[in-house]
Amino acid sequence: MSARTGSERAGFSGLGLGPALLSVLTELGYEEPTPIQRDSVPPLLAGRDLLGQAATGTGKTAAFALPLLQRLFAEKQKRTAPALLVLVPTRELAMQVAEALHRYGQKLGARVLPIYGGQSLGLQFRALERGVDAVVATPGRAVDHIGRGTLALDGVRAVVLDEADEMLDMGFSEDLEAILDALPEERQTALFSATLPKRIVAIAERHLRTPVRIAIPDERLARGEAPRVRQAAYLVSRAHKVDALGRILDHESPASALVFCRTRNEVEELAEALRAHGYRAEALHGGLSQKDRDRVMKRFRDGTAELLLATDVAARGLDIGRVSHVINFDVPSAPESYVHRIGRTGRAGREGAAVTLVEPRERHLLRNIERLTGRRLELKPVPTVADLRARQLEHTRATLREALLAGGLEPFQAVVASLAQEFDLTDVAAAAVKLAHGSRPLPEGADIPSPAVDAERPKRGEGSRRGARPDPPARAPGEGPFTKIYVSAGQAAGVRAADLVGAITGEAGLDGRDVGAIEIAERFSLVDVRKSRADDVLTALRRTQIRGHKVTASRYRPPREKR
């Protein structure tokens, strides 16, 4: 860790940045560097490799962009191949980082190009042919260009892996290894990640040379847990999760809640379901245009929307001042992600609440979180109709009590006295309470049943680690807890088992234990997935690409034997 006292006094000028960058920062209104910027800029300016861990929203982009722009582009020269390569998990983040690099490097004349899936390859080809100084790419599209010979790596002098843990979670491990192996040995490497699991450390050990290690604690979090954040966990079966979330929201009455989901599809579907329940909900994910993203964020910030549903990747880097509740619709597979999520509430001394919906099969993930935070999360039943009635009436009672304490009731006492001559005084007061309660009816309906815990508990030997799959017993397709899925891409398309696992776990929100045996043929693949999640997998695969190919997916029907 670098000393901070001198740099803190001098602001950005004390970090060694040149006049051009300092001028841009002044124009952008930057006054003081954040901790990750103070600690990262000097070693990166000196050409050192760096391994940095910091929570979301801490200024990581500027932490690597400023020093690398100065090192690589302070002396203007005509380049045909990029000198800087930044790898990011999603197209949305590629656009954001590219825009930041362009903004910071405008007075250095740095030419920045984002390349990602869903954008015209022809446009990317022409831009690369004209020559760029920096490329910000998603790993899959970078590998595509490298294979076509349109992205030259021989001139790369620095590479950055941003949000490295998310890239691994999305199944990009082999792509990252291939890109890093293809880069010049004499290069500078920086790796930034919100969490540092063993697989991130393993990449750092293989590809970074005596790196400076920086870990910026989340200043919102005390050691082990978040202060002033009330944490609650509710045990609920998957079939009742949406209804259960509605009951919990009714009970909590959040002023502004950030709801985390695993996949883009889940975000959209849950937002639609909550709107049908009467909530003002907005969806945020990587599939939105920047215009739609800005519209969603404006509605949430100004209070027009009370619920913002997002994936982890889409929520990273968001600057949201007031969030009363963080809600985990699914238990995050990495306990560090849970800590970072709930750190978005309870800020600036305000109280916050973190709510997690736990399926019986996810209880082991909850135990992992408890070990990390050192705090037990007691599983609660979903609020009953009686609980919601009591909550509503308590709110009305509190409102009436405030009116009594405020005084100024004299003009209304004559009405009460008149009615008391005709009715019992208690009935008069109850009628007043009914009116104060308003037109909102008391909740009705059946209670949400408690889940059958044993029926959904993972069997012995089923691992929770993504990609770890025990060999399943021999079975006919469609029998037992798994079913076989046909995918219209195989060896000819370069499909690997890791690609299929990454697509299924990343897009459909499954864990590794939900994926069984994988067979990859020349033109197609067969994947065993948990039968209860088969429809989710089919929907997700039909909307995504594998190795750059649009695929079709269906339930596998074995050919009939000839009689």
The CATH number given to whatever domain includes residue 292 is 3.40.50.300
- Tokens at residue 53, please? 């861990």
Taking CA atoms, 29 is separated from 23, 24, 74, in Å, by 10, 9, 22
Q: Are residues 16 and 165 in the same domain?
A: yes
Per-residue pLDDT tens listing for the chain (563 residues): 333 444 344 578 889 999 999 999 888 878 788 888 999 999 999 999 999 987 666 788 999 999 999 998 876 667 778 999 999 987 778 888 898 899 899 888 889 999 987 777 888 888 898 889 999 999 989 999 999 999 999 999 999 999 888 788 777 888 999 999 999 999 999 999 888 888 889 999 999 999 999 988 654 444 444 446 788 899 888 888 888 998 898 888 888 899 999 888 888 889 988 888 788 999 988 777 778 888 888 888 888 888 999 887 667 656 566 788 999 998 887 787 788 788 777 765 567 888 999 988 888 888 888 887 778 887 888 888 888 777 777 777 777 777 788 888 888 888 888 888 888 888 888 888 777 766 555 666 667 777 754 434 344 333 333 333 333 333 333 334 788 888 888 877 877 776 787 778 767 777 666 777 788 877 888 888 888 888 888 888 887 778 777 888 888 876 544 44
202: in domain: yes
Give yes or no for a contact between 82 and 135, defined as CB atoms under 8 angstroms apart.
Answer: yes
Residue 391 sits in which domain range?
Answer: 386-437
Question: How many structural domains is the chain composed of?
Answer: 4
Q: Are residues 391 and 320 in the same domain?
A: no
Question: pTM of the predicted model, to two decimals?
Answer: 0.50
Q: Are residues 241 and 184 in the same domain?
A: no
Q: Are residues 400 and 323 in the same domain?
A: no
Q: Are residues 433 and 491 in the same domain?
A: no
452: in domain: no
Last residue of a domain, one of 151, 184, 216: 216
Helix, strand, coil share of the chain (percent; to 5): 45, 15, 40
Q: Are residues 109 and 36 in the same domain?
A: yes
Q: Are residues 166 and 17 in the same domain?
A: yes
406: in domain: yes
127: in domain: yes
Last residue of a domain, one of 159, 192, 216: 216
Can you say how many angstroms the Cα of residue 343 is from the centroid of all Cα atoms in its chain?
13
Q: Are residues 371 and 477 in the same domain?
A: no
442: in domain: no
Rounded Cα distance, 329 and 270, in Å: 9
Q: Are residues 132 and 28 in the same domain?
A: yes
Rounded Cα distance, 161 and 369, in Å: 26
Q: Are residues 372 and 422 in the same domain?
A: no
561: in domain: no
Q: Are residues 145 and 21 in the same domain?
A: yes
CATH number at residue 529: 3.30.70.330
Q: Are residues 80 and 187 in the same domain?
A: yes
Last residue of a domain, one of 384, 418, 447: 384
443: in domain: no
477: in domain: yes
Q: Which residues contact 51 (CB under 8 A, 6 or more apart)?
A: 190, 191, 196, 204, 208, 211, 212, 213, 214
The DSSP annotation for 383-418 comes to PPHHHHHHHHHHHHHHHHHHHHHH---HHHHHHHHH
